[in-house]
Structure 1
Amino acid sequence: MIRSVTAVDERVRQRIPNSSFGAGKENSIGAMRAAEFSSRLNECLHSRCEIVLAISVRHENGVRHFMVNQDSDGSFYCEHHHEKSVSDLVSFYTTTKTPLSSSSGVRLKRPIERPQWLLNHDAIRLVKKLGEGAFGEVFLAEYSSGNEVMQVAVKTMREEATREARLKFMKEARLMRRYEHRHVVRINGVAVHEHPLMIVMEFCPGGSLLSHLRKEKGKLSSSTKLRFAIEAAEGMAYLHKQKCIHRDIAARNVLLSSKQEVKISDFGMSDDKLIVKDDKLDKVPVKWLAPETMQEKVYSNKTDVWSYGVLVWEIYAEGAEPYAGFSNLQTRAKIVAQDYRMEMPKDTPSSVSKLVVHGCWAKNPSDRPEFSKIVKTLKGKA
């Protein structure tokens, strides 16, 4: 009986070692040199998730993929030769120079080292659930790296999630790996060799900015509110410089460090395109959307600026709901048809109010300032 390597077989898990070679789908296979190889766990494609192990080898002018099968006794093989573990199988083909298949004549030479961002599930211990979403949960966890154990946040993906949800999950991780800034949540890596799939990232003990604003209502100084606005703008200025459109800027998606520093988070809707067209607006937070998104279903760096304006309103309103008393449909009608703009809370500095109402919320996207200019303007008021 021949089996592929499935995600639900504990015996198989134990037989796949934490090898120093190998990569997930993110590895740059196109950059391989001749005879370089990596072992890869291909993405789950079906409603019942199945993990398929393959060895990818640079050969002549292309990359060849060889399926690793599992026999009924638990051993692994590519064509005829069996070994008790994948690591032993790879070692056999590397040391003996035996072709992976008689028809291909492909031999293994140099392994591609496992990238640091590809983590092992064994190094992650889930401690406490922090939240729950449509396709998974977020946990406080401990991550062991060498002799160091650190607190991290872990975002998980349920095994029964759709293929589309899994692709979005991995895209979020891929985007986050590119970013390193003091006001953007840092990713440690991903764990994809078992279930649940995990994104491991910086833990922010201060929780969400929205919760903090509501908890500290009436206690926050004007300088603290301004600092929150500046730090969020600095994080967004960095992301835009990296060609990232966040698409979901709001106080609920901003976290606070142990020192109450702002960290932009939640890249589930983010993209690395200049303009994004998205016809699915049925489940998006309408009250943070720019008018052109409501009308034309487009996102850009300028729609992020509009949403940031709503975030600043939330900061000075100490976590109140924007457009209170209006439904999503009413909010859309007032913004699009009536050019309605909210008044800023009464203790907002006039210069900040002007920046938001006449800058961030300008009807014409080209009239909205870049985040670099927003930072300079706000710092001039600090």
Structure 2
Amino acid sequence: MASSIGDPSKVKYRIQSTTSGTKKFKKTKEGASVEDKKDETKDDEGSITDDIRNADFYHGLIPKTDAEALLKKEGDFVLRKTEHNTGVIVLCISVRVDAEKVKHFVINTDAAKNYFIDVAHKETTVSNLINFYKTTKNPLSAASGAKLRKAVERPPWAINHDAIFIMKKLGQGAFGEVYLAEYVSEKGREKVAVKTMKGEASRDARNKFLKEARMMRKYDHKNVVRILGVAVHEHPLMIAMECCEGGAMSSYLKKNGKTMPMKEKNRFVAEAAEGLSYLEKQQCIHRDIAARNCLLSGKNNTVKISDFGMSDDKAILHDDTLEKVPVKWLAPETLQDRIYSLKSDVWAFGVLVWEIYSNGAEPYPGLSRLQTRAKIVLTDYRMKMPDDTPAEITKIVTQSWDKVPDKRPAISAVLPDLKKLADK
């Protein structure tokens, strides 16, 4: 892992994650016992020393789900950060006890700054503590019988903060700011988009942020935004993704839609469908398919599906909250019963197609969220496609907006026709 790479002289500024500074990027104390942390939750400078920060088995602030997935055999272990109580970040060792169980042990410190898991044995450094248990084969606790055998190294997707150099702010995301940055790796330098997580975010928000990264790591397709890595050692947490310099499709349509050739619009539809067909096969319910979440990349403005913040890989998802959900892209069963599925994504794809041929206009023009919901649910209202929309497209959208989810076609089923139209 790189520790001092990149050229700060070539960038406007860099997020300083290893020094104290503004409140925005100030770090959180860990490694101390919970009792010592009442007034110190904003300063962890003394606990994460370089020998730990640079250790291959230190995974930073990854959630329990990610840690447990890495531990395959009995005795496999990682060192990570976790939130022990609200606002209290601590160091912890996660170790696989057997095929069914993984145990998580908080590392405490006493007044003399000695580290311990069990008060019966203390060491002056975390490294020494880990080495003691690894070499003596003593269990971390008598009750668990958990023993440290093999340290699991950070996976390739875990990148260091100092490999990322911020260039400029692009906008605001659901969890924090989004930046254009330069990522420096063994392969060289490349421009990336970086999503950040606010340091003061709750555990729930942090887990959702890292779940998005976990979902993205599964996917590899030319029409899906590619993730390059996740930086979780310091605050702010970062997700580095391929840079799509064409920006959001919604903005492009508003600016260029009226002068776009029909062939280009047809291509946008086909490429979005290719990405969504791939996600469909991966059993990914995206839940937020819209022109604003399609990015354009490269000289030809290749369409890339992005923003997996609401995504899930369950067959059917029930979510009672609609507060922040974009109502105008939701299927009737979602509006009524809060049910999401691959078929509700098909409905949203139909709305995305309407956006493309409407030059980026907002769906259900002139209607509020409440009015839109009422018209869809109570009167079975459907938008009219713009007059110049190809007949083949109108037919597919009409099928996608069937009131009965099972009657909507799979996106993979309509993809061949969409690609044929785009190739004309």
| Pair in the same fold by TM > 0.5 | yes
2:53 corresponds to 1:17: yes
1: CA distance between counterparts of 2:141 and 2:405? 58
Could you list the per-position Cα deviations for residues 319-376 of structure 1 after superposition, in whole angstroms to 9, with x for gaps in the alignment? 11111111122222222222222111122111111211x2111222122111111211
Instruction: Note closer, same or farther for the CA distance 1:124–1:7 as it changes in structure 2 (3 Å cut).
Output: farther
Q: 2:325 maps to what in 1?
A: 284
1: CA distance between counterparts of 2:183 and 2:104? 32
Report the AA paired with residue 53 of structure 1: L
Report the AA paired with residue 21 of structure 1: F
Report the AA paired with residue 46 of structure 2: R
> Do 2:223 and 2:274's aligned partners in 1 also have CA atoms closer than 8 Å?
yes
Q: Which one of 58, 69, 83 corresponds to residue 108 of structure 2?
A: 69
Q: TM-score, normalised by structure 2?
A: 0.81
Q: 2:22 maps to what in 1?
A: none
2: CA distance between counterparts of 1:248 and 1:104? 43
Q: TM-score, normalised by structure 1?
A: 0.90
> Do 2:71 and 2:95's aligned partners in 1 also have CA atoms closer than 8 Å?
no
Q: Which one of 80, 94, 103 corresponds to residue 56 of structure 1?
A: 94
Once the two structures are aligned, what percentage of the paired residues are identical? Answer: 55
> Do 2:230 and 2:238's aligned partners in 1 also have CA atoms closer than 8 Å?
yes
Coordinate RMSD, CA, aligned:
2.6
2: CA distance between counterparts of 1:9 and 1:147? 32
Instruction: Note closer, same or farther for the CA distance 1:319–1:12 as it changes in structure 2 (3 Å cut).
Output: same
Alignment of 1:1-382 (within 5 A): 2-3=32-33, 8-15=43-50, 16-23=52-59, 24=62, 25=64, 26-28=66-68, 31-43=71-83, 46=86, 48=87, 50-59=88-97, 62-71=101-110, 76-79=115-118, 80-84=121-125, 86-95=126-135, 97=137, 100=140, 107-146=147-186, 148-259=188-299, 260-356=301-397, 358-382=398-422
> Do 1:172 and 1:270's aligned partners in 2 also have CA atoms closer than 8 Å?
yes
> Do 2:216 and 2:227's aligned partners in 1 also have CA atoms closer than 8 Å?
yes
Instruction: Note closer, same or farther for the CA distance 1:123–1:91 as it changes in structure 2 (3 Å cut).
Output: farther
Unaligned ranges ≥5, structure 1: none
> Do 1:18 and 1:120's aligned partners in 2 also have CA atoms closer than 8 Å?
no
Instruction: Note closer, same or farther for the CA distance 1:180–1:64 as it changes in structure 2 (3 Å cut).
Output: same
- How far did residue 22 of structure 1 move? 4.0
> Do 1:235 and 1:263's aligned partners in 2 also have CA atoms closer than 8 Å?
yes
Report the AA paired with residue 270 of structure 1: S
> Do 2:33 and 2:107's aligned partners in 1 also have CA atoms closer than 8 Å?
no
Instruction: Note closer, same or farther for the CA distance 1:136–1:30 as it changes in structure 2 (3 Å cut).
Output: closer
Instruction: Note closer, same or farther for the CA distance 1:13–1:226 as it changes in structure 2 (3 Å cut).
Output: same
2: CA distance between counterparts of 1:305 and 1:60? 42
Unaligned ranges ≥5, structure 2: 1-30
- How far did residue 36 of structure 1 move? 2.5
1: CA distance between counterparts of 2:387 and 2:123? 74
> Do 2:32 and 2:107's aligned partners in 1 also have CA atoms closer than 8 Å?
no
Count of matched residue positions in the alignment of Structure 1 and Structure 2: 378
